[in-house]
Each structure stands twice: as C-alpha cells, then as structure tokens.
Amino acid sequence: IPASGMRIELYKYDTADNNNITKQLMKSFVTNSDGRLPSGPALKGSEFAVGQYQWIFYVGDYFARFSSSRICGTPFLDVVRLDFGLDDPTDHYHVPLLCSPWSYSTYRGS
C-alpha cells in the first residue's frame, strides 16, 4: 500500500570542514496518493550535486493514523533517517523506503 501523506525531509551534509559536519534542510515533502514525491524527482538541475544526503521519513506520524499500528501507544519506529551519497549528477537515483510499523528496508532503485 503506498504511503500517502507521509512527511519527508531531504538534507544535504556540508562536509567542507571535516571537524564540523553540518546538514542543511533542502526540501520538505508530503507524499502523494501513490506514495511518491508530488513534484517528481527531489533534486533537479543545479540542485543535483555530488555529496552526502539524508532523507528523514516521519513513519511514526504516518502509522499513527492507523490504530492497529500502535500496540502499546509508543511507536516502535518513529523517524527513519537514511544517509546516502550521490556521486554522479547525470545518473538517476531512486531511493524507496519500504516500511511497516516495525521494520523498514531500502535500496537504490532504478
């Protein structure tokens, strides 16, 4: 079932100073009825740069809408943070998250 209405944030790590790695919020999204980003790819054109990134998926908020997902009132998974790297701005990257209230999996899709 596609995760319609899940809040997601995309951050880019600033690794210019190896002693002080920070991250900057690039964009926030809410998934559409197909569980995808409503405007297509997250990064387009000059935004798509080599570097380290982080997706933050608010799965606890998403599953809280379904009473059967909260067995004890506290979500087992609340926020899923996914760190990944992009090394070729001319390539296509698809980073899906498959999740349940108790587990998740990801991969580099096509």
Tell me the C-alpha distance between 1 and 41, whole Å: 21
Question: What is the reported pTM?
Answer: 0.89
**72 band by pLDDT with thresholds 50, 70 and 90:** low
Q: So what's the pLDDT on residue 75?
A: 84
Asked whether the predicted pLDDT for residue 69 surpasses 60, the reply is no
Dihedrals φ, ψ of 33, to 5°?
A: -65, -20
Q: So what's the pLDDT on residue 57?
A: 98
- Asked whether 54 and 81 are in contact (CB, 8 A), the reply is yes
User: Which pairing describes strands 97-99 and 80-86: parallel, antiparallel, or unpaired?
Assistant: unpaired
- Which H helix or E strand runs over 52? strand 51-57
